[in-house]
């Protein structure tokens, strides 16, 4: 009998077609427990579609997806989704403007997209702890409409943490942040990524500088296919990124070891 631990996420031969358009072609990808991933690729390469297929908002044309031991098509994916936290700008737009941060986070205890419910049995202290993990406990009573973009991202991640997800998907979370706010935000993400028993992270980004040291692996997509996948040091190179973005690019590390891309 095999003693190999089951991966957190396994995607095999995943294809998504809409009409004659191949959105994803034979994607193979395995996320082991304890890994954090970044997904990189040019606009339109299929990053969001891949994550939508994993979270069952986009139906695969073929292939297999197994998350946390449950196979797509054989399990109630509404239940599986509760173990996946998603943070994307498309979703943050749906928060009622007058809602305070505490209530936004509380609504994450029964998180389902488009299904905002609140249960009195969900303890407020847990919501405050989730806000605390992102360093924004002091914003608990502030209304969504007055929060800055960086504060909103942190509150929304705190909301996702209420359901104790096994996986946290962050779709371009730094978009719209000024350079200083981005650094503060990334510092918070690093702390979250370093938590023992915290969720695995998948960070979608266009910027290699946002790949912080706790991110162990990277998936690079090009035109709906996997161009490279593996540990950051192996899968990410000037050559791979030049192919991914269709232009000569040089991947460098600064003195602190931080990645940057020279066009």
Ligand X SMILES: Nc1ncnc2c1ncn2[C@@H]1O[C@H](COP(=O)(O)OP(=O)(O)OP(=O)(O)O)[C@@H](O)[C@H]1O
Residues that bind ligand X (CB under 6 A): 18, 21, 23, 41, 43-49
- H or E element that contains 106: helix 101-106
Bridge partners, residue 12, by sequence: 64
Nearer to ligand X, 45 or 229 (CB): 45
Give dist(CA 189, CA 212) in Å, integer.
9
Closer residue to ligand X, CB minimum distance, 61 or 237: 61
Nearest approach in angstroms of CB 166 to ligand X is 23
Which one, 105 or 221, has the nearer CB to ligand X?
221
Task: Compute the distance between CA of residue 90 and CA of residue 132 in angstroms, rounded to an integer.
Answer: 24
Q: 124-133 — which CB contacts under 8 Å span 24+ positions?
A: 126/162, 127/102, 127/158, 127/162, 128/102, 130/105, 130/158, 130/159, 130/161, 130/162, 131/101, 131/102, 131/105, 131/155, 131/158, 133/158, 133/161, 133/191, 133/192, 133/195
With respect to ligand X, which residue has the nearer C-beta, 45 or 101?
Answer: 45
Task: Specify the residue, 36 or 47, whose C-beta has the smaller distance to ligand X.
Answer: 47
Residue with Cβ nearer ligand X (58 or 122): 58
**Nearest-approach distance from CB 220 to ligand X, in angstroms:** 11
Phi and psi at 246, nearest 5°, equal: 70, 35
Query: Residue 71 has which token pair?
Result: 């196979």
Give the C-alpha separation, 25 to 256, whole Å.
37
Q: Which is nearer to ligand X, 54 or 161 (CB)?
A: 54
CA distance 82 to 241: 34
Distance in Å, CB of 211 to ligand X, minimum: 16
Closest contact distance (angstroms) between CB of 23 and ligand X is 4
Q: How far is the CB of 91 from ligand X (least distance, A)?
A: 14
CB of 63 to ligand X, least distance (A): 16
Least distance to ligand X, CB of residue 252, Å: 23
The DSSP secondary structure of 150-190, one letter per residue, reads: HHHHHHHHHHHHTT--SEEEEESTTTT--HHHHHHHHHHHH
């Amino acid at each position: 009998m095999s003693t190999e631990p089951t991966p957190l996420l396994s995607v095999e031969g995943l294809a998504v077609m809409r009409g004659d358009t191949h959105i994803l072609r034979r994607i193979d990808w395995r996320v082991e427990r304890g890994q954090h991933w970044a997904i990189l690729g040019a606009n339109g390469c299929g990053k969001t579609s891949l994550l939508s297929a994993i979270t069952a908002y986009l139906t695969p044309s073929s292939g297999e997806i197994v998350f946390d031991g449950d196979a797509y098509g054989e399990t109630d994916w509404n239940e599986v989704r509760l173990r996946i936290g998603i943070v994307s700008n498309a979703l943050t737009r749906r928060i009622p403007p007058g809602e305070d941060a505490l209530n936004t986070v509380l609504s994450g205890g029964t998180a389902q997209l488009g299904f905002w419910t609140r249960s009195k049995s969900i303890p407020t202290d847990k919501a405050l702890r989730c806000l605390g993990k992102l360093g924004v406990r002091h914003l608990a009573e502030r209304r969504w409409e007055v929060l800055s973009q960086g504060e909103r991202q942190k509150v929304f991640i705190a909301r996702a943490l209420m359901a104790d997800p096994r996986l946290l998907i962050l779709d371009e979370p730094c978009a719209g942040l000024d350079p200083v706010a981005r650094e503060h935000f990334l510092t918070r993400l690093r702390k979250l990524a370093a938590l023992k028993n915290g969720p695995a992270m998948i960070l979608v980004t266009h910027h290699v500088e946002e790949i912080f040291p706790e991110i162990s692996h990277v998936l690079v997509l090009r035109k709906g296919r996997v161009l490279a996948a593996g540990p950051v040091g192996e899968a990410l190179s000037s050559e791979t990124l030049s192919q991914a973005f269709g232009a000569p690019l040089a991947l460098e590390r600064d003195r602190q070891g931080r990645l940057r891309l020279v066009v």
